[in-house]
Amino acid sequence: MAKEITSRKEDYSQWYNDLVLKSGLADYSPVRGCMVIKPYGFGIWEKMQAALDKRFKETGHVNAYFPLLIPKSFLSKEAAHVEGFAKECAVVTHYRLKNDPNGKGIIVDPEAKLEEELIIRPTSETIIWNQYKNWIQSYRDLPLLINQWANVVRWEMRTRLFLRTAEFLWQEGHTAHATAQEAVEETERMLDVYANFVEEYLALPVIRGRKSPNERFAGAVETYCIEAMMQDGLALQAGTSHFLGQNFAKAFDVQFLNKEGKQEYVWATSWGVSTRLVGALIMAHSDDEGLVLPPKLAPLQVVIVPIHKGEEDLNKLRDKLLPLITELKARGITVKLDDDDTKRPGFKFAEYEMRGVPIRLAMGMRDYEANTVEVARRDKKEKGTVSFDGIADHIAALLDDIQSNMYKTALAFRDSHIRKADTWEEFQKLIEEPGFISAHWDGTSETEEKIKELTKATIRCIPLDNPQEDGKCIFSGAASKERVIFARAY
RNA sequence: CGGGGUGUAGCGCAGCCCGGUUAGCGCACCUGCUUUGGGAGCAGGGGGUCCCAAGUUCGAAUCUUGGUACCCCGACCA
């Protein structure tokens, strides 16, 4: 094999890296922790963007853009916020370079030191709320529902392609409301948007929940999240939606005059998903042969490989296939006829399997004569020969089937890897196996921290539609009303 | 920031211990011919600051010292 992918069993991390690099999604960049997103990877992100952006607009939001650089002083205005982000900020201190007077190369000009250092945004709450102060005076200015697509930088100690890069692309919604209830509703609405999107497009089931206080966003009153399970049983936070209370309004003094003519602080939310979703997509579905992409996000949904001897045969095949290609395109299906004569069919098969193209059609002269075509689906690695008549309908149906089959497979995997633990002994044993644990917790940070210290497991979330039941905390034995989800996480 | 590993052609590696022709192999790339139903064959060809710096030496990819980058594991985090 030309491009060997490490098997999942041998080395899961290496498998993931091989997949990303060899399928052409991304490259390492010269800067630690940063990555180049290549056209194929960016194509997936663009599809995610398009679907999400549509949903944001449908729920009343508009896009805007706020600057990359934030005055250092802004970060310190909200105490919990600075506490959470201070350790991972990239700082701009100078604005000019010059030739090194002592030799070759270039140095930072010490004369060009900034009066106030600038922070490269790790998130934009501060710069946005500084602006909202000027935009909001009356209840008539509310709600303010703004989203931005942007890049942010968090100087992480350890990075991983897509899952945790120093710079990443995301969207961040920042809304302002007149009442707490309205803001909470917005927080929950956007969590739902995320959950539905991930389940429908990424074919990945998620658990909707609230974070424990320990895991809350820096500056939030309540953090909602969606948690997904990867193939190795680890949890991945796929999106977050925060109810920020009046924390940022108070920090940036954003008040409005209500209907009764009284000044009140504005209620806020923020919510985001990032290019990490591309990582989730890869890790959730792919196999040892390469990527497995759900049709709704695959940059290329159908590839057609002609098998022929000589130009004359190829022309015959082209003539037969062209109407199909036209029809598929008319249905909004992305399709490519790979008639590159410098590569042989076997090579192409392997290549498109590695790149996760959901459907591959192959037609040789045998099929041509018999009016058939070979159809291969990537998700189940099945192939068969079907009649060429009505093939467009067959493909459209098959794409739907692949999308739903991938979801079902992921759902079955996840559900079979969530186990209940009712004693500490049971918990310790189960946490060594892949998957999530559903267990009672006494609600205290001390217990959560102790469990994390002993097992590396954290509370991923307190599920939203959680059945209430009497129980005892797995660790302390104190009374508990509901189970929470524990897992080791990315 | 601690532990481990690796820097030699676009990618993957050998050579280093024991210094010595023109630094080698596989894949990829280019040209030609034959091929094309699961990663083609033959022939010819191009491509190298051997991570950087200093040192030892007649001579360094190889030895010494210092630096640096990246990957993996952990602590931190979306």
Same domain? A131 vs A251: yes
Nearest nt to A273, CA vs C1'?
B78
**Which of A354, A370, A399 is at the close of a domain?**
A399
Q: Give CA–CA dist A265/A183, Å, rounded.
A: 13
Q: Is the dihedral of CA A350, A351, A356, A360 positive or negative?
A: negative
Q: At A373, which CATH number?
A: 3.40.50.800
**Which of A285, A320, A347 is at the close of a domain?**
A285
| Per-residue flag: A227 CB under 7 A of strand B | no
Same domain? A273 vs A367: no
Distance A343 CA to B41 C1' (A): 14
Q: Say if CB A45 and CB A54 are below 8 A apart.
A: no
Q: At A213, which CATH number?
A: 3.30.930.10
Residue A93 lies inside a defined structural domain of this protein? no
Residue A57 lies inside a defined structural domain of this protein? yes
Q: Give CA–CA dist A355/A292, Å, rounded.
A: 7
Nearest of A53, A121, A486 to residue A273 by alpha carbon: A53
Nearest nt to A366, CA vs C1'?
B37
φ, ψ of residue A148 to 5 degrees: the values are: -135, 140
Chain A residues 385 to 444 with C-beta below 7 Å from nucleic strand B = 385
Distance A319 CA to B34 C1' (A): 27
Nearest of A247, A250, A251 to residue A270 by alpha carbon: A247
Nearest of A277, A345, A354, A263 to residue A305 by alpha carbon: A345
Q: Widest CA span of chain A, in angstroms?
A: 83
| Per-residue flag: A214 CB under 7 A of strand B | no
pLDDT at A235: 94
Same domain? A164 vs A256: yes
Q: How many domains does chain A have?
A: 3
Same domain? A220 vs A337: no
Same domain? A59 vs A147: yes
Residue A82 lies inside a defined structural domain of this protein? no
| Per-residue flag: A33 CB under 7 A of strand B | yes
Residue type, A222: E
Residue A129 lies inside a defined structural domain of this protein? yes
Same domain? A425 vs A459: yes
Angle at which helix A310-330 crosses helix A391-415, to 10 degrees, equals 70
Please report, in tens digits, the pLDDT of each residue of chain A (490 residues total): 345 788 888 788 888 888 898 898 988 887 778 888 999 999 999 999 999 999 999 999 999 999 999 999 998 898 888 888 888 888 888 888 887 776 656 778 888 889 999 999 999 999 999 999 999 999 999 999 999 999 999 988 888 899 988 899 999 999 999 999 999 999 999 999 999 999 999 999 999 999 999 889 989 999 999 999 999 999 999 999 999 999 999 999 999 999 999 999 999 999 999 999 999 999 999 998 999 999 999 999 999 999 998 889 999 999 999 999 999 999 999 999 999 888 999 999 999 999 999 999 999 999 999 999 999 999 999 999 999 999 999 999 999 999 999 999 999 999 999 999 999 999 999 998 899 999 999 999 999 989 998 888 999 999 998 999 999 999 999 999 999 999 999 8
Q: Which two tokens stand for residue A453?
A: 């210290």
Residue A392 lies inside a defined structural domain of this protein? yes
Nucleotides, chain B, CB distance < 7 Å: 1, 27-30, 35-40, 69-78
Angle at which helix A276-285 crosses helix A39-58, to 10 degrees, equals 110
Q: Say if CB A35 and CB A28 are below 8 A apart.
A: yes
How are beta strands A335-337 and A302-306 bridged, if at all? parallel
Distance A393 CA to B50 C1' (A): 58
Q: Give CA–CA dist A212/A446, Å, rounded.
A: 12
Nearest of A177, A186, A110, A168 to residue A139 by alpha carbon: A177
Chain A residues 273 to 312 with C-beta below 7 Å from nucleic strand B = 274-276, 307-310
Residue A412 lies inside a defined structural domain of this protein? no
Q: Which two tokens stand for residue A311?
A: 């130009």
Q: Give CA–CA dist A445/A442, Å, rounded.
A: 9
Chain A residues 43 to 72 with C-beta below 7 Å from nucleic strand B = none
Distance A17 CA to B15 C1' (A): 28
Same domain? A374 vs A442: no
Give Cα A421 to chain centroid, integer Å. 29
Nearest of A187, A173, A170 to residue A245 by alpha carbon: A187
Chain A residues 110 to 149 with C-beta below 7 Å from nucleic strand B = none
Same domain? A392 vs A306: yes
Q: Give CA–CA dist A287/A284, Å, rounded.
A: 9
**Which of A352, A369, A399 is at the close of a domain?**
A399
Residue A117 lies inside a defined structural domain of this protein? no
Same domain? A470 vs A378: no
Same domain? A364 vs A439: no
Q: Which two tokens stand for residue A473?
A: 């905390």
Nearest of A286, A291, A288, A285 to residue A356 by alpha carbon: A291
Same domain? A319 vs A277: no
Residue A49 lies inside a defined structural domain of this protein? yes
Q: At A457, which CATH number?
A: 3.30.110.30
pLDDT at A1: 35
| Per-residue flag: A187 CB under 7 A of strand B | no
Domain boundaries, position A429: 420-487
Q: Give CA–CA dist A329/A312, Å, rounded.
A: 25
Same domain? A333 vs A264: no
| Per-residue flag: A222 CB under 7 A of strand B | no
